[in-house]
Chains A and B, each alone.
Chain A
Amino acid sequence: MISTAKPLWEFRDVSKSYPGVVANDKVCIKLLPGSIHGLLGENGCGKSTLIKTLAGVQQPDSGSILRNGERVQIVSPQSAREMGIATVFQEFSSVPTLSVGENIFLGNMPRSRFGVVDWKKVHADAAAVLADMEFDIPTEAITGRLSVGEQQLVEIVKAVAIKATMVILDEPTAALGEEEIDRLHQLLRTMRGRGVSILYVSHRLDEVERIVDEVTILRNGRVVRASGETEINVSEIVAAMVGEEVGEHYPKECSSGHEVVLEARGLATSTGVVDASFKLHRGEVLGLGGVLGSGRTQIARALFGADDLTAGDIVLNGAIVRFRNEIDAICSGLALVPENRKSDGLFFNFRASGNITAASLRNLARFGVLDLETEAEATRVLIRDLEISKQAEQRTVNFLSGGNQQKIVIARWLFSDAQILILDEPTQGIDIGAKIALYTLINTLTRAGKSIILISSDHDELLAMSDRIAVVHHGVIRRTVKAADLTHDDLVRASGDPVDEHFEEALA
């Protein structure tokens, strides 16, 4: 496409080792101005190392970094910024209590003559940048009150405001819904049009396919496909990332029975669930689609007793139940694997054992004393069965990869023998191999007669892994449809379109 252009940044044979592991092994990459470059690979392939080197967080052991063909050294994040490199990390670096304008200029606030912050100028300049990016948010808005998607866009506007020529995006869409992803992509295309070079890291291959101009794929610290060597197409990318042909990306098995185990009848909460009705069968995977903020997570919380119902009934195995809190729900055989496993799921101070038994301490204790032998044995078995890293037995879970961590959260509910599992974005931020392992695990669960409510923003995943799908729209679920009868487009339209008739139409 623009392969004749001179690269803005170039890595030549850049290597970086950590004790015991070569994270980057003679990596070469060329980043062109006005181009969106996808950087792909499984967890631990060396993507983060490469990003950190470019962002000046660390120094390479060998090799050279060239800027416009000249050898440079990026000695610190400050020097990276001075050279026009901006990094948008997965975790936001905005201060949630400050206004959008303040965040945009954080660190280089315009000042008046007396060294005091010139607030008029801050907000005027911020408004100018926002308007320039066609981004409609008041600069006085408190950043923490914006939606996750809007906060993500603010992060990118920050990069624009410092006039960055090189923008690194690390998993920018991990927490975004379809609509917000579109908006983000639009913003990126605008920046590309202005000659900005963009390095885009993502696990969501469907969107990579849509947005990037070229890809570099890393495996075990080496470049296995340089840009131009791969067609930008999901199956080829997956094959290159994993290093082997992946037989089936979504190994779906159907185990759905006829017996209704859980029924929601007109659920409503004060948190945004308006009218949700659906049935869940034994051994079934019921997918909940919809955009971020549509109320999917709130429905899950309401089912789990975390939020109070203002209307409606939950019917469990034919009987109406009322959960006062999570403890009631757990005792009735429900489980929730939360969207954010780091903040809501895992105990980083525990090894696998403590994490796995956390929801079952009642059953594990006799007169308040824990049966540690049973705990150790059950942990060993689950680690073996779920193919969790052996390390998990000895070390606290912060040392594990995202995929292993997620398996441990699920193992917790296997140990508690939960019959209904609500999985909220279970594959978010984990690599493709771990995703497939998780899909297989879902099959194992349903085969054992457990039922699953799957919440996912990844439409392909939702379509492939669900037996039936309910689309949540402004807190409302009216109908559920067989997944096989829906296409990707239906789902996008049904969840994204604000007009109700269109929604009905899409599901019709």
Chain B
Amino acid sequence: MKRIFDNQLIGPFAAMVIMAVIVALTTERFLHPGNLSNLSLQVSIVALIAIGSTIVIYAAGIDLSSGSMVALLTMVFAQMLKSVGIPLALALPLLLLVGSLLGLVIGMITAYGRIPSFITTLAALIAFRGLALTFNNGSPVFSLDPALEPIFYGRLLGVPMPFFYLVFFYALAAFTMNFTKLGREIYAVGGNAAAAVLTGIDVKRVQTTTFVIAGFMTALGAVLMSARLNSGSPNYGQTLELQAIAAAVVGGASLAGGRGNILATLMGAMTIVIVQNGLNLNAAPSSVQNIVLGLIILIAVGIDMWRSEIASLMSRMLGRFRPSDATTASKAT
């Protein structure tokens, strides 16, 4: 457990709490139980997709395709349920499979075709959105299946269902990253791909796997999106990929790869949603929301990059040195 709850969580956790306190102090309705359960609904889709985005980032890749893939998959889902008439119980796992396969294709083009993931997923971002428009003449499909809504709006013991998805998948992701061979290999590939090759890690397979995971998680997000709105639309998921990446970054994942704690991504997603929620409750226009989101990303990464400067400033202000500084300095001589 010590492995999972390490000190990489402190910063993102503090950011989340500070944001929550600020919003709670300025906004009366924030702490209302109805609003809090609404929060877990709001955060669920982006937070689940962010698991995949974060794991891709750990392997020093980037996934820009998830937003468009959500749109495409909601249309595919709608097609399965309405046009083909596949029952929900079959369509749901099928959609997860389609998402994973799309991830597999992106991953293989990236890893074996040696094309930077920024480019492959940028291409996918554009192409998937176009592909989504080829279904149903580009119009949204409504009333997919009455059995869909409980997936998102249902409750177990009074707790919204998405809360359980979050707990389950974050626990699974944390276990994978900290205790399995795959998790270790992902961090190794992101930390130093050249060294990973020379230590016998199948770097291309690992890179591909991260995109399969991302595809699966995106498909899960698409299921929730369809359930939430009981519809599919080629316009769903706009900028969702950026929010997911923002969650990873606010959670301290290094875009250079190899570093980060997956639970911090959940905190990053929470931080973003809390701020959005606070602005919503205060009826702030969406323009302001976007500006604030941009600032949060900048500040979060800034704190990460300037960590050592901030630490030395703090220690100077406190007038004493932290013992660990000595070793850093002696290395510098």
If A20-B321, A349-B259 touch, whether A358 touches B201 (CB-CB below 8 Å) is yes
Q: How far is the CA of A350 from the CA of B196 in the complex (A)?
A: 12
CA distance A372 to B3 in the complex (A): 10
Interface, chain A (partner B; CB < 8 A): 18-21, 23, 44-49, 221, 304, 306, 326-327, 329-331, 336, 338, 343-350, 354, 357-359, 361-362, 364-365, 368-370, 372, 391, 395, 399-401, 412
Q: Number of residues in B with C-beta < 8 Å to the partner?
A: 37
User: Could you write out 27 A-B pairs with CB less than 8 Å apart?
Assistant: A18-B328, A19-B315, A19-B321, A19-B322, A19-B325, A20-B326, A21-B333, A23-B330, A44-B331, A44-B333, A306-B197, A347-B188, A347-B191, A347-B192, A348-B192, A348-B258, A350-B187, A354-B184, A358-B195, A359-B199, A361-B184, A368-B181, A368-B182, A369-B179, A370-B180, A372-B179, A395-B327
Taking the closest CB of chain A, its distance from the CB of B176, in whole angstroms, is 9
Residue pair B198, A399 in contact (C-beta under 8 Å): no
CA separation between A48 and B331, bound complex, in Å? 10
- A221–B194 alpha-carbon span in the complex (Å): 36
Cross-chain contact of A327 among B184, B202, B315, B327 (Cβ < 8 A) = B202
Interchain CB contact under 8 A, B190 and A23: no
Rounded to whole angstroms, the CA-CA distance of A410 and B325 in the bound complex is 28
Which residues of A lie under 8 Å from residue B199 when comparing CB positions?
A: 326, 330, 358-359, 412
B188 touches A354 (CB 8 A): yes
A346→B195 contact, CB < 8 A = yes
Q: Which of B195, B201, B329 contacts A18 (CB 8 A)?
A: B329
Cβ–Cβ contact A331 & B198, under 8 A? no
Are B195 and A326 neighbours in the complex by a CB distance under 8 Å? no
Q: For B200, list chain A residues within 8 Å (CB).
A: 326-327, 329-331, 359
Chain A residues near B184 (CB-CB < 8 A): 354, 357-358, 361, 370
Asked if residues A20 and B329 are in contact (CB atoms below 8 Å), the reply is yes
Q: B residues bordering A, Cβ < 8 Å?
A: 3, 179-182, 184-185, 187-188, 190-192, 194-202, 258-259, 312, 315, 321-323, 325-333
Known: A347-B258, A349-B191, A399-B327. A368 touches B180 (CB 8 A): yes
Alpha-carbon gap, A189 to B283, bound state (A): 75
Pairwise interchain contact A361-B181, C-beta atoms closer than 8 A: yes
Selected contact of B198 from candidates A49, A345, A401, CB within 8 Å: A345
Instruction: State A347–B187 Cα separation when bound (angstroms).
Output: 9
Contact of B326 among A21, A331, A361 (CB under 8 A): A21
CA distance A186 to B194 in the complex (A): 36
B333 touches A48 (CB 8 A): yes
Smallest Cβ-Cβ distance to B333: which chain A residue: A23
How many inter-chain contacts with C-beta < 8 Å in the A-B complex?
A: 126
Which of A348, A350, A395 is most buried by chain B, counting CB atoms within 10 A of its CB? A350
* Most A Cβ at <10 Å: residue of B187, B191, B200: B200
Complex contacts, A348 vs chain B, CB 8 Å: 191-192, 258
User: Please, how many angstroms separate the alpha-carbon atoms of A345 and B197 in the complex?
Assistant: 10
A46 CB contacts on chain B under 8 angstroms: 333
Contacts of A372 in B (CB 8 A): 3, 179
B193–chain A nearest beta-carbon distance, Å:
10
Q: How far is the CB of B198 from chain A (nearest CB, A)?
A: 6
What residues on B are CB-neighbors of A44 within 8 Å?
Answer: 330-331, 333
For A400, the chain B residues whose CB sits under 8 A away are: 331
Q: Which A-chain residue is minimally distant from B183 (CB atoms)?
A: A370
Q: Is the CB of A391 within 8 A of B327?
A: yes
With a cutoff of 8 Å between Cβ atoms, the chain A residues found around residue B194 in the complex are 343-344
The distance in angstroms between the C-alpha atoms of A391 and B192, with both chains bound, is 21
| Known contacts A18-B325, A349-B259; 16 further A-B pairs (Cβ under 8 A) | A20-B330, A21-B326, A21-B330, A326-B199, A338-B195, A343-B192, A343-B194, A344-B194, A346-B195, A358-B195, A361-B184, A368-B180, A369-B179, A369-B180, A395-B327, A400-B331
Q: Given A359-B200, A370-B184, are A20 and B195 also a contact pair (CB < 8 Å)?
A: no
Given contacts A349-B259, A361-B181, A368-B182, contact A18 B191 (CB under 8 A): no
Residue in chain A with minimal CB distance to B330: A21
Smallest CB-CB separation from A329: which chain B residue?
B200
- Is A399 a contact of B331 with CB atoms below 8 Å? yes
Report A-chain residues with C-beta under 8 Å of the C-beta of B181: 361-362, 364-365, 368-370
Whole-angstrom distance between the alpha carbons of A463 and B188 in the complex?
A: 36
- A346–B321 alpha-carbon span in the complex (Å): 29
Shortest Cβ distance from B187 into A: residue:
A349
Measured between beta carbons, the chain A residues less than 8 angstroms from B331 are 44, 399-401
Assuming A330-B200, A344-B194, is B325 touching A350 (CB within 8 A)? no
Taking the nearest CB of chain B, how far is it from the CB of A306, in angstroms? 7
4 A-B pairs closest in CB distance: A20-B326, A18-B329, A349-B258, A349-B191
Name the CB-closest residue of B to A17: B329
Q: Kindly list chain B residues whose C-beta atoms are within 8 Å of the C-beta of A350.
A: 187-188, 191
| Contact between B195 and A345, CB atoms less than 8 A apart | yes
Contact partner of B328 (CB less than 8 A), chosen from A45, A370, A399, is: A399
Chain A minimum-CB-distance residue to B331: A399
- Chain A residues closer than 8 Å to B315, beta-carbon distance: 19
